[in-house]
Structure 1
Amino acid sequence: MDFEDVNARGLVLLGCGKMGSAMLAGWLERGLSAAAVTVIDPAPSAWLRGTGVALNTALPDAPALALIAVKPQMMDAALPALRALTNTLFVTVAAGTPIAAYEAALGDIRLVRAMPNTPAAVGRGITAIVGNAAATAADLDTAETFLAAVGEVVRLDHEDQMDAVTGLSGSGPAYVFHMIEAMAAAGEAQGLAPDLALRLARATVAGAGKLAMTGEDPAQLRVNVTSPGGTTQAGLEVLMPALPDLMAQTVAAAADRSRELRA
């Protein structure tokens, strides 16, 4: 299934907040027709109203794709609107709601569960996907095609891995943002003006991230910038003994909380 198929049969978007809007914008840029899209959202943004999609109208009987992008606490009230859809691939980007919950609410469906992260809003996200038992290889290919509009896509072997994904890449942007805060504060402590320290910290993390995406081993990238006996080595001698265990605890805490929320 591709954009041409979806243009012919239609797409339903349940919820169009930040994540739903980012995905819709990516799809429209890639050739999805606004006329093929029906959005259900109680408070559509001005941007959404200007796209030309159908808003809060009757749904097509058998759209090719239905994307669920509502907050977990709204799920029980929102899902019944999709019960009448037939021969539709369901894709959910809602955090914390397991596949079984969708099957209980919607019956015998083909479903792909996805976990994107917030850089999807600027087309630089990474999304992990896993299908239910009814989802075919072609369904996973379709989900990957559409989710790639906002960044990279990886496939999981089983749904239980979603908790680890949540702890690492789902929550991970917040860890990086906090690191920027901490780096800027450290720069201030060394005598830099606050705005300059923040600018340096932001650019350093963004630039290092771009280098990391070249595919070279991160350990080698670290070695490349570390001169023996130099300033970077002095800093790493403080950071490296503490960071691995702290990061392991951080990701584990987020993953454990994900497991608690779906229990």
Structure 2
Amino acid sequence: MQTYSAKTTKTLNEPLIEFNNATVTFGSLVALKDISFTIDKNDFIYIIGPNGAGKSTLVKLLAGLVKPTSGSVVRRDSRCGYLPQMLSQKLNFPITVNEVIYSGFPKQKLIIPKEVKKKINLWLKQMKIENLGKKMMSNLSGGQQQRVLLIRALITNPDLLILDEPTSALDPEFRDFFYDFISNIHNQGTTILFVTHDLHKPLADNVKILDIDQEIKFYGCLKDFHQRGETDV
């Protein structure tokens, strides 16, 4: 039976998100098979697995961009910010940095309101790109574009932040800043899902590991993951 993603009101002690035997197929290709796990408020979860394992499909399920072919994904009353892979972005169309960030709001006007512009400018300054608001996205470097898209994901103060290999286009200096920034966001109560190939710098205490290869291979704490001998990502 096919059951689509649903959004319900969260009650006490219920998980923020619940996967129930979620399967995703594209024609004859099985991207994800019988995925079942829960995400609790303020979790920090690293999603790992080989290329082609279905990691990006999983985060698109979380973001509501893909529907399960069977099973269900229940997301309980939460705002979601999503930073996709840079390689999946086509940013050569004529749009400014400010316009990209403003598109992160669910309701938009033809002209960006003054109070929103102030908020955008504060975020640009925090991300050390305060002079780029009126620039075209196509004229920015990959790392600058990544910062803009991160602001877009955070501009509405989401409860859940999904990061799909977010450091791939960042220079080493800003990468360290980014890691500290995401750690602080998590400490303020945001639930983080972080697709990565690098587990050498855990960004939070008691992080969880979700290891997938179409199916779930492991889901649990980092210590238990390493005790299984799964140290290579």
* Fold shared per TM-score above 0.5: no
More strand by share: 2
Relative to the length of structure 2, the TM-score reads 0.35
Q: Decide which structure has the larger Cα Rg and report it.
A: 1
More helix by share: 1
Relative to the length of structure 1, the TM-score reads 0.32
